[in-house]
């Protein structure tokens, strides 16, 4: 009896040790901290040295200007230097800000209006040069975007190009709203009958029992807000239009059911039900959209 108990304890210990080992094996190892490569370390070291060099040059320049300020002042006061553009730049170093604020003469002009006098002072040069820069920018912009044939794209063309690029980045799967299907409308009576039942259950509360339109638009005329071809109707039903309250039926109806109800919706064209809602959207003729007058 004692031997059996010892064997039972040994077996229990072995099982517990095996379970603990398995649990330890399943526990993921802690992630190692990200370590910068030698190139990254060298880049930051060089960037730091460049910053220190620029600071040293700045302080050196400040010390030189401070020590040579009397000599620079004498040079600035020379008549052939004082009124030149380079002289005005030199004036910034000796405390004269004419290059920035312009000449301030404080001379009154010989006219006034309602007690308001006008001084004969220059506009600040930075303001004038900034204004000239806006003129040059406007001419360049007009030539590049509106005159040149190989110039930049305007807002509408740029948006269209970006949307095309975005469509290429989206996976072209059955759940891609940018991918239009290539279905043909169903014409078999049984399929249309099934679509009618789906419409009565899910669509009639917004579009009316006969498609005459209630909260949603009228589905029996020639006007469509998101396209009246079967694949456009299929896309509208599947993905919805949340901004206009149209529910997305993807995941609630199968692809075949969406095609059935889409085909039934197209079969309502020209039925002219009572109390039909006024047309909305664009008129489609022979596959082309025409704006409603």
Instruction: Check which CATH number belongs to the domain holding 249 and give it.
Output: 1.10.760.10
The token pair that represents 37 in the structure block = 């490569």
pLDDT single digits (tens) 75-94:
777 777 777 767 777 777 77
Q: Is residue 205 part of a domain?
A: yes
- The per-residue pLDDT of the chain, averaged, comes to 80
Q: Among 70, 100, 130, give the residue marking a domain's end.
A: 100
Q: Strand 108-113 and strand 288-291: pairing?
A: unpaired
The token pair that represents 205 in the structure block = 């509360």
Q: Is residue 180 part of a domain?
A: no
The token pair that represents 261 in the structure block = 């109800």
Q: Strand 108-113 and strand 223-224: pairing?
A: unpaired
Total domain count, the chain: 2
What is the band of 289 on the pLDDT scale with cuts at 50, 70, 90? very low
Q: Is residue 147 part of a domain?
A: no
Which domain covers residue 287, as residue numbers? 189-291
Q: Is residue 269 part of a domain?
A: yes
Mean pLDDT confidence for 191-214: 93
Q: Is residue 245 part of a domain?
A: yes
Q: Is residue 196 part of a domain?
A: yes
Residues of the chain with pLDDT > 90, as a percent, come to 33
C-alpha to C-alpha distance for 65 and 72, rounded to whole angstroms: 8
Q: Is residue 235 part of a domain?
A: yes
């Amino acid at each position: 009896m004692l031997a059996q108990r010892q064997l039972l304890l040994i077996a229990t210990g072995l099982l517990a040790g095996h379970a603990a080992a398995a649990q330890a094996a399943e526990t993921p190892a802690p992630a190692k901290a990200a370590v910068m490569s030698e190139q990254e370390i060298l880049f930051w070291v060089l960037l730091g040295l460049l910053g220190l060099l620029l600071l040293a040059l700045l302080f050196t320049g400040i010390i030189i200007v401070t020590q040579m300020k009397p000599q620079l002042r004498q040079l600035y006061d020379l008549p052939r230097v004082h009124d030149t553009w380079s002289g005005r730049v030199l004036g910034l170093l000796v405390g004269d800000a004419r290059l920035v604020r312009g000449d301030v003469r404080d001379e009154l002009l010989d006219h006034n209006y309602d007690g308001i006098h006008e001084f004969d002072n220059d506009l600040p040069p930075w303001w004038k040069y900034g204004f000239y820069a806006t003129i040059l920018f406007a001419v360049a912009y007009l030539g590049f975007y509106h005159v040149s044939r190989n110039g930049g794209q305007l807002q509408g063309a740029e948006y269209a190009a970006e949307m095309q690029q975005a469509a290429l980045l989206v996976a072209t799967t059955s759940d891609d709203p940018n991918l239009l299907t290539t279905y043909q409308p169903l014409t078999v009576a049984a399929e249309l009958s099934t679509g009618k039942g789906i419409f009565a259950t899910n669509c009639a509360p917004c579009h009316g029992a006969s498609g005459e339109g209630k909260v949603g638009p009228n589905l029996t005329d020639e006007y469509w807000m998101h396209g009246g071809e079967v694949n456009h109707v299929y896309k509208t039903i599947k993905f919805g239009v949340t901004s206009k309250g149209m529910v997305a039926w993807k995941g609630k109806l199968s692809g075949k059911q969406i095609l059935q109800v889409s085909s039934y919706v197209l079969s309502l064209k020209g039925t002219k039900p009572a109390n039909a809602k006024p047309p909305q959207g664009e008129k489609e003729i022979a596959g082309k959209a025409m704006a409603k007058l």
